[in-house]
Amino acid sequence: VSDASGCSMIALLHTGAAKFPQNLLSRSRQAVSPLFPAGVLKGFSSIVSRKLASHAFGASMAAMSSFPPQRYHYFLVLDFEATCDKPQIHPQEIIEFPILKLNGRTMEIESTFHMYVQPVVHPQLTPFCTELTGIIQGMVDGQPSLQQVLERVDEWMAKEGLLDPSVKSIFVTCGDWDLKVMLPGQCQYLGLPVADYFKQWINLKKAYSFAMGSWPKNGLLDMNKGLNLQHIGRPHSGIDDCKNIANIMKTLAHRGFIFKQTSKPF
């Protein structure tokens, strides 16, 4: 306090209250308390509290608005794992079905759908498949069929409000294979319909190339390297790949990139 009135301290706290730690605020109130009636100090404390709350709210709003808004309310990050071998077996069958619901405003993960799927044409996983994906036989034995999993996806989509016509959402994959080849191919083989929401998507490789000016030949590994991101989990784990896709999307969004549909209408 620089003078007997204590006004310098009041002014300092009034203008810079948001920057003051709580312990200093407490000590400052003790220093000026002999100089002011209790009612004045109570009002002063109220002002400081409001300023702190306002600062915190402003900081959170600034963080939320630090990148431009996206065209979609939600991004549905998807990455299948399927039966495989060398040479390749036919037909391939989905054995891991993960989806992350990514909020288009905050780019944070809000919900997860994750199931393993029982293959029926080639029910026994090959050693190559297990080595590549980390999925062992016990993880798919006794699991629901693809038809049952697709029914549960639809239930999850409804529960998450994603089937509401006013809610704009789109799937995101690392490449076109998942929704252009794998899912429609297996559904055709099994005589199953493909839901309309699986018929438009964003290919993250194309989005990355638009944003960064180079094509990621090695997919997620190249994209993480180009953005100086740490790779999450193990490559070719469906759920881990989804987390990497989400992380890359969040980083690109914070750099100002606006994601757009890359698939052509069916």
Catalytic residue (choose from 81, 93, 96, 160): 81
81 is catalytic: yes
SS3 track for 167-229: CCEEEEECCCHHHHHHHHHHHHHHCCCCCHHHCCEEEHHHHHHHHHCCCCCCCHHHHHHHCCC
Distances (CA, A) of 163 to 3, 178, 180, 195: 66, 21, 21, 11
71 exposure class (CB count in 10 Å sphere: 0-12, 13-18, 19+): exposed
151 is catalytic: no
Q: How far apart are CA 188 and CA 28, in angstroms?
A: 74
- List, in sequence order, the alpha helices (H) in 65-166: 127-133, 137-140, 146-159
**Which residue is associated with the tokens 């005589």?**
191
Active-site positions read 81, 236
